[in-house]
Amino acid sequence: MSTAPKTCPISIPELCTSKNSENVPTRLRSARLRSEYRSLATQMMSSTPKNEAFDHGSSPTGKFGRHFAVALGKRTPTSASTTSTPHVIALVGLPARGKTYISKKLSRYLNWIGVDTKVYNLGDYRRKLSHYNSHEIFDNKNEAGLRLRSKICEDSVQDAINWLETEGGEVAVIDATNTTISRRKFLYEKIVIEKGFKLFFVESICDDEKIINANIRTVKISSPDYVHFSEDQVVEDFRKRIKHYECIYETIDEEMEPNLSFMKIFNAGEKVLVHKHEGHIQSRVVYYLMNIKITPRTIYLTRHGESNHNVMRKIGGDAILTENGVNYSIQIGKYINSLNIENLSVWTSWMRRTIQTAKHINGTHERWKTLNELDVGICDGMTYEEIMEHYPNDFRARDEDKYRYRYPRGESYEDLV
């Protein structure tokens, strides 16, 4: 169990144009790249003839440098590289608890890290089969509504299973309420017992009326269910929908359902409880959702103020602010402080210029090495004119592909991703 404070961060990153050398980087921040590096090195060593000289990348023309540059271009992993067993993530919770938001954000994150993920939203299934008139379809005394919702659940789960089995999917996210023990038992038997897949429940619990009201008024009024409803009608109808679910709601209980793997998120991240999570995928899900915020926030991004190196057109280094830079730090401090933001968190790099820029902002200050400027390697402290003179090939390579360009003995943007 852990708690996480609600914060509104201001980030002052080190922004710098990046470059790409064919040299093997001396420092790789990405664990994924380090894995590729080790794997590629093993393959190349095993495939190199014994009588052939092997250059480990100290020279831009070395064979390892060329092969490594090719490997970096292959960013999409195969299924076997991420998970051997298909996963289903099933949301749990009353309406207006952020389940759809969590589903979409989680899917986007998993796909971004290379895990093929798809969301199955039961509301979309319902709208294909039936026109929404009122909350009464969610009344448990409404037998026709019960049959419809049971069919929707069965259809969505079967579609998810088919996708995982036949189309190479890795993680299916079931975006539904799943508020009863019997419904979760159905999912467990269908997914775990019958198919041998892994199942992980994510329950969103919220009793903070401010969060619930904000969710209804900012999200539900734009729902396809309420196209012809006024805002007041939306709030009234949705409140009644919630009441129907509250009558049958059974929160996940480790004593009643000891076989389930799950996590509970309380009041949009105020507290998190995790039970029996297993494997790489579920660990990534837990870590991500522990840090996600489902309530609206504002994030302010700013460059550091003008530094001495900026004036001299030099890159890298740990220069301090000029007089103009100091004035900027004072003005941005006045502006942010005038907003009176509660629980303000200010993030900077470890560079003096960013710390000085944030000096006058009231709030909790945190320093992150991940916000440091790109490591420019042997070009540290040089101007672009000096780089063009001493390393013309590198200068041209940077202009051609800033994303993949790596400074000699430094970093590229791709390394950080």
Residues placed in the known binding site: 303-310, 353
Cα(245)–Cα(225) distance, integer angstroms: 17
Of 87, 135, 244, 304, which residue is the catalytic one?
A: 304
Q: How far apart are CA 131 and CA 292, in angstroms?
A: 33
290, 312, 343 - which closes a domain = 290
**Six token digits for residue 398:** 């940077």
Residue 386 falls in the annotated catalytic set? no
pLDDT digits (tens, 9 = 90+) for 103-120: 999 999 999 999 999 999
Instruction: Tell me whether residue 410 is exposed, middle or buried, using C-beta atoms within 10 angstroms of its C-beta: 0 to 12, 13 to 18, 19 or more.
Output: buried
369 lies in the same domain as 409 = yes
Q: What is the pLDDT of residues 308-341, one digit of tens each?
A: 999 999 999 999 999 999 999 999 999 999 999 9
Q: What is the pLDDT of residues 137-172, one digit of tens each?
A: 999 899 999 999 999 999 999 999 999 999 999 999
State what percent of residues in the chain have pLDDT above 70: 80
Q: Are residues 267 and 370 in the same domain?
A: no
CA distance 380 to 340: 39
Residue 67 domain-assigned (yes or no): no
In a domain, 369, yes or no: yes
Task: Say if residue 262 is in the same domain as residue 113.
Answer: yes
Whether 286 and 355 map to the same domain: the answer is no
User: Per the domain annotation, does 76 fall within a domain?
Assistant: no
Which domain, by its residues, includes 282? 82-290
**pLDDT at residue 84 in the model:** 79
Domain CATH code at residue 329: 3.40.50.1240
- The sheet carrying 8-12 orders its strands as 300-301, 8-12, 344-348, 364-367
Torsion of CA 241, 244, 247, 252, to 10 degrees: -60
Long-range contacts of 164-168 (CB under 8 A, 24+ apart): 164/86, 164/88, 164/197, 165/86, 165/195, 168/79, 168/116
Domain boundary among 225, 258, 290: 290
How far is residue 177's CA from residue 97's CA, in Å, rounded to a whole number?
A: 10
* Strands across the sheet containing 198-205: 2-3, 271-275, 261-266, 198-205, 87-92, 171-175, 117-121
Residue 66 covered by a domain: no
What is the helix (H) or strand (E) element at residue 413, kind and residue range?
A: helix 413-416
Instruction: Tell me, yes or no, whether 208 and 91 share the same domain.
Output: yes
Query: What is the pTM for the complete model shown?
Result: 0.65
Catalytic residue, from 14, 22, 36, 373: name it.
Answer: 373
Would 51 be classed as within a structural domain? no
The binding site for substrate consists of 303-310, 353
In terms of domains, do 106 and 185 share one? yes
Mean pLDDT, to the nearest integer, of 11-32? 44
Q: Same structural domain for residues 90 and 142?
A: yes
The residue from 230, 260, 290 where one domain ends is 290
Whether the CB-CB separation of 271 and 3 falls below 8 Å is answered with: yes
Same domain? For 317 and 209 the reply is no
Q: Are residues 269 and 122 in the same domain?
A: yes
Q: Are residues 239 and 369 in the same domain?
A: no
The string of pLDDT tens digits covering residues 337-396 is 999 998 899 999 999 999 999 999 999 999 999 899 999 999 999 999 999 999 999 889
Rounded Cα gap, residues 185 and 161, in angstroms: 16
Q: What is d(CA 68, CA 56) in angstroms, rounded to the nearest whole number?
A: 10
Kindly state whether residues 275 and 356 are assigned to the same domain.
no
Q: Do 286 and 394 sit in the same domain of this protein?
A: no
How many independent structural domains does the chain possess? Answer: 2
Tell me the pLDDT band of 416, cut-offs 50, 70 and 90. confident
373 is known as an active-site residue: yes
Q: Are 367 and 346 in contact (CB under 8 A)?
A: no
| Inside any domain, residue 98 | yes
Q: What CATH number is attached to the domain comprising 99?
A: 3.40.50.300
- Polymer length of the chain: 417
- What stretches of 73-142 show up as alpha helix (H) in DSSP? 99-112, 122-129
91 located within any domain: yes
